[in-house]
Structure 1
Amino acid sequence: MTRLNASLWTIGLACCLASVTWTGLTTLVTPQKGLAQVSGEVSARAQLPRFERQAYNPAVLHVRFTEAAGRTSSIDTDAFLDLTLILASGAVEGLRMDLSLKQFQTQLRKLYTQLSRLEPLNEADPASPSRQLHAVLIAELMPVLLREKVTTLLIAADRGLQAVPFAALSDGERFFGDRFAFSITPSLALTTFNPSDEPGQRLLAFGASQFDGLASLPLVPQELNRISSRGGKDQFLNKDFTPSTLLEKASSADYDKLHVATHAEFKPGGPKASQLHSGTGPISMEQLTALRQSRRGVPLDLVVFSACRTALGDADAELGFSGLALQAGARSAVGTLWYVDDVVTSAYFVQMYRYLNQDVPKAEAMQLTRQAFIRGLIRLVDDQVVGADGSPLLTELTPAQQRRVADGVGNPFFWAGIELMGAPW
């Protein structure tokens, strides 16, 4: 392991982080510890995470692979992993470690297999994929993160690392997504370091629940009805959700948030071939890039894709729709790393927007939502899914929908794949 020197660009970045620290956010989160169930029932109000006005402390973590066959210290390794942590104070901690790409990829595949099968991740076992990946990517910097009381991480991840489900990595005591608020960016050049100065604008919501040749998404109408913004909301469902309507409405500076609930499909051939399904026809990834020009100077603060696997694409479009939203000028975007049950997805986003409406920053809103899942606050009660405060997130679930969440939604499969990209603030 090698200590790395700071480079000049980190100085300017640290100045930006310091600006966020002092001028950005007013309502902040302190995760609550030691939660327990009483008589087998959740006491939601007693377990709600606390909100406090206190110092906001973001940092940037740059994670980079470099192929280095023949240049590492062991014949068993063939790459360097460079970790650079940049604190708001300007301090920089850099590490270089030898790595076996094959072993890293094997552990990542094993973790995905466990998640896809809803298996326990065995966080108590240091040899488990969740622990092994945490040991490689996070553990060496944990003493600094804890000592400096970092609350939020912007993780700049190289190609191939964006598929890591950071939220599901464990230090043996807590999951990374429980302990930290974070976002992922493929490039710091795509990230805005100034918080939005126009909060409370309108939410623009689109959804499709019925399709030709694709499974229906029966909870999309409820999801659109239940998500909200303090500045108001306009929504378009099924036949009212057309490609032209989305592109026209999203071009208006009246809206600072765009929410799209539908199916996504990735095909070989790049952005022209990969598409979202509107209520009347497909919208290609390429079409979405038109928003960069139409929203020049007034970027969307948040774009949410409540759809199947929208955080990643294929070899030609690795970043998926979420990454494309950043390239189209959005400050932040939310997508999913894998296919998640639509009951859970809808409940997740309804809860997330509730936190956003309390002036909670984006990454913290998602952290609190994950914590609500982990601690059993998101749960089935009769035919309803109720949220952290005990009020309904979804109602009138069918018996089949109830069965899909009847055993609880605490497994990381349900919450670790929904990921924030771009600015965490």
Structure 2
Amino acid sequence: MQPNLRYVSLITLTILSLLGFGMVYPDKNQVTTNTRLKYNFGEKAQALSQNNQLLEIERLNEEAIKESRQGQSEEALQRLQQALAITRERGERSWEAVTFNNIGRIYQSQRKYPEALQSYQQALLINRELGDLVRLGKTYSNIGYLFDIQNQPELAIFFYKHCLINREKARLNPSALSAPQPNAYSITVSQTYRILGERLLKQERVAEAQRTMDLLKVEELEEYLQAVPGNKRTVKGINIAATEKPIKQKLDQTLDSAVALGKELTTLRKISPKERSLEQKQRIEQLVLNQQQLLDKFNEFINSPSVKAQVDQISRTARRQNLDLENLNELRDNLARLPQKSAILYPLILKDSLELVLVTPESPPIHRTVAVKRENLHQTIGAFRQALINPSRNIKAPARQLYDWLIKPIEKDLKQSGTQTLIYAPDEQLRYIPLTALYDGKQWLVQRLGVNHITSASLTNLNTPQESTLRVLAGAFTKGNYQIKVGNRQVAFAGLPFATQEVENLAATVPETTKLLDDAFSPKVAVPQMDDYTIVHLATHAAFVVGKPEDSFILFGNGDRVNLRNVATWSLPHVDLVVLSACETGLGGKLGNGEEILGFGYQMQQTGARAAIASLWSVDDGGTQALMSAFYGIISTGNLTKAETLRQAQVSLINGSWKVRSHNVPVGAVSDFSHPYYWASFILIGNGL
């Protein structure tokens, strides 16, 4: 079925020149019919002091959006027209684009879609002229959303992609991304990425969706940490499909021509309205008219029968093609070079479904849709987590349900590809639970597969080999008690009684181990030494707290804390692995979207360390000691990857073979660590080699 593009049909416009400013509206939708009021706006713009004009523009925009939400659309449009007059009087092109975006949002809320598109296009021209990639991308998102709410997914995808493309270019200048942005956009950037992924999956454009889902992780990091830089992988953005290229070419030609007119227009508008000659006023009106005619021709083009047919063909063609081959082939090549057969799993949580995308070295990306509502998924995640942290509870029911949703739909694909390690980029609340503890009715997933978490394939070097010689710096908080403010409450963190034995066992296994205990284990002493070792083992509390990065921290033995943001200042380019053996997430039972866990993994990568092991809840000290003893006993042989070493250590707790490796089983300690509470908490994030 061809999409309905009637709203972009050519409409007859009456060109209104507001004080020579050239604002264009259809006759039937004039913001106001009071000509004198328009001139008063101009007089007010001139009367305002230079210092107050920006504040006035911002205030008018904010009040207009507030009025629009209260159903006072006409009053809101009048305020925005007033703001527009001031922006042009002042020459504030950036705020002019903001105001046009907000005018578009109000028309959109009134379902006046042609007028909304017109306003967004005006904003697009200005942002393109200014070279503001951040706001240009967000304006493309507004246009994409406008098509989306009219059930025109192909054109929505086309414009959403342009948001992503410009956003990823801007990521090379991370300070630009973190600059405050006015409220002028229908949805956030991460929402744009998420919706784009959803629309692509619905059209079975799986390679493009995988790319979008990967970059979504990067954008989520940006929203949490800010100033997250891009790289040569992220800047590639996403490919424009062959069937989209004629529209892309026409759009670029239109914008380039309109921007050239806009530059002349900007120059003329710098002349005070009172000082403009008749010829200059006429030229301004002509330039505005010419710009609008260019946009009308573009709208007429995308409404033409040939383009309608082409747009309708996009999704059908995309289903048959491996689009975005450059990025996909790079990812496949990375997977193929790993020593164990590996696949990458991307889940995407949507309102009414869980979407799974699996990338293997040999085949096109595989897509499976699981019919489960977000609320039901979240409830099961919560029940699973509660069972995980309480060994007395029956865990197998939620573990089996999550297996049926997350693994069973791709079970045959994993078997066919011979997958041994699953490289996992979890979404939202899935970050709070370990994939290894899912249950298939006979065994835990970890008994079949290793699991290696990543923040994003675009940010992870999957193939950098580990250092051959083990040298360990081991710090431990074993005694004492510190009151730490976590969010809005005080939490007591006590020394870990088994941490001493944990470190002693480690030193017995790895001769080149340096121990720092309690007061000697301080940031001042420990951090400068870390890069002299291949493994940094921290047997101490760490808390990943919902909220700001500053709320999450690592506690040192002397009571000092290093928050999550400051972790990235560590320089660890020679460190292969950082181990935090007593971390905790979801303090107070509060689960967010897991951005603090995603942020921890990324911050560790920023230090230069290849990977990190962290726990999702605070584990019984005896269980931690047993797992770590098994882990270091296995890794010291030098024959296995970190991911496989962790898997085998976890399996050893399930079947009890850890006792053979342990140097010391404390008298009276729990000796059955087969429940996932003891072993499943630990996850590996980053390079799994």
Matches within 5 A, 1:318-357: 318-319=597-598, 321-357=600-636
In structure 2, list runs of 5 or more residues that go unmatched.
1-200, 209-323, 483-492
Taking a change above 3 Å as real, the CA distance of residues 159 and 353 of structure 1, as seen in their structure-2 partners, is same
- The yes-or-no answer on 1:219 pairing with 2:498 is yes
Over the matched positions of the two proteins, sequence identity in percent amounts to 26
- The yes-or-no answer on 1:60 pairing with 2:344 is yes
Contact 2:454 2:601 survives alignment (8 Å): no
Contact 1:158 1:186 survives alignment (8 Å): no
> Which is richer in strand?
1
Q: 1:11 maps to which residue? A: 329
CA RMSD of aligned residues (A): 2.6
Taking a change above 3 Å as real, the CA distance of residues 190 and 211 of structure 1, as seen in their structure-2 partners, is farther
Distance (Å, rounded) in 1 between the aligned partners of 2:387 and 2:526? 37
SS of 1:161 mapped into structure 2: helix
Number of aligned residue pairs: give it. 354
- Matched letter for residue 398 of structure 2: P
Taking a change above 3 Å as real, the CA distance of residues 332 and 266 of structure 1, as seen in their structure-2 partners, is closer
Q: Which stretch shows the higher mean deviation, 338-347 or 206-215?
A: 206-215
Q: 1:191 maps to which residue? A: 460
Structure 1 residue 395: deviation in Å? 4.2
Matches within 5 A, 1:12-27: 12-21=330-339
Structure 1 residue 211: deviation in Å? 2.5
1:222-248 alpha-carbon deviations (Å, 9 max, x no partner): 211211576822221112111112221
TM-score by length of 1: 0.76
Distance (Å, rounded) in 1 between the aligned partners of 2:404 and 2:425? 18
Structure 1 residue 170: deviation in Å? 1.1
Q: Which entry has the higher C-alpha Rg, 1 or 2?
A: 2
- Matched letter for residue 61 of structure 1: L
Q: 1:161 maps to which residue? A: 430
Matches within 5 A, 1:8-407: 8=324, 9-21=327-339, 56-66=340-350, 78-119=351-392, 121=394, 123=396, 128-196=397-465, 198-213=467-482, 214-228=493-507, 232-250=512-530, 252=531, 254-266=532-544, 270-280=548-558, 281-291=560-570, 294-295=571-572, 298-309=573-584, 315=592, 317-319=596-598, 321-358=600-637, 359-378=639-658, 386=659, 390-397=660-667, 399=668, 402=669, 405-406=670-671
Q: 2:310 maps to which residue? A: none
Distance (Å, rounded) in 2 between the aligned partners of 1:327 and 1:97? 35
Distance (Å, rounded) in 1 between the aligned partners of 2:498 and 2:422? 32
Structure 1 residue 299: deviation in Å? 4.7
> Which is richer in helix?
2
Distance (Å, rounded) in 1 between the aligned partners of 2:616 and 2:599? 10
SS of 1:154 mapped into structure 2: strand
1:42-86 alpha-carbon deviations (Å, 9 max, x no partner): xxxxxxxxxxxxxx21111112223xxxxxxxxxxx334221211
Taking a change above 3 Å as real, the CA distance of residues 116 and 144 of structure 1, as seen in their structure-2 partners, is same
Q: 2:673 maps to which residue? A: 409
Contact 1:274 1:285 survives alignment (8 Å): yes
Contact 1:115 1:412 survives alignment (8 Å): yes
- Matched letter for residue 494 of structure 2: A
Q: Which stretch shows the higher mean deviation, 183-192 or 332-341?
A: 183-192
Distance (Å, rounded) in 1 between the aligned partners of 2:603 and 2:622? 26
1:248-278 alpha-carbon deviations (Å, 9 max, x no partner): 112x3x3221110112235566233332221
Structure 1 residue 396: deviation in Å? 4.3
Taking a change above 3 Å as real, the CA distance of residues 95 and 185 of structure 1, as seen in their structure-2 partners, is same
Taking a change above 3 Å as real, the CA distance of residues 424 and 331 of structure 1, as seen in their structure-2 partners, is same
Contact 1:61 1:156 survives alignment (8 Å): yes
TM-score by length of 2: 0.48
Distance (Å, rounded) in 2 between the aligned partners of 1:152 and 1:368? 12
SS of 1:308 mapped into structure 2: strand
Contact 1:4 1:95 survives alignment (8 Å): no
Structure 1 residue 140: deviation in Å? 0.8
Distance (Å, rounded) in 1 between the aligned partners of 2:575 and 2:359? 26
Contact 2:478 2:518 survives alignment (8 Å): yes
Contact 1:301 1:331 survives alignment (8 Å): yes
Distance (Å, rounded) in 2 between the aligned partners of 1:14 and 1:231? 39
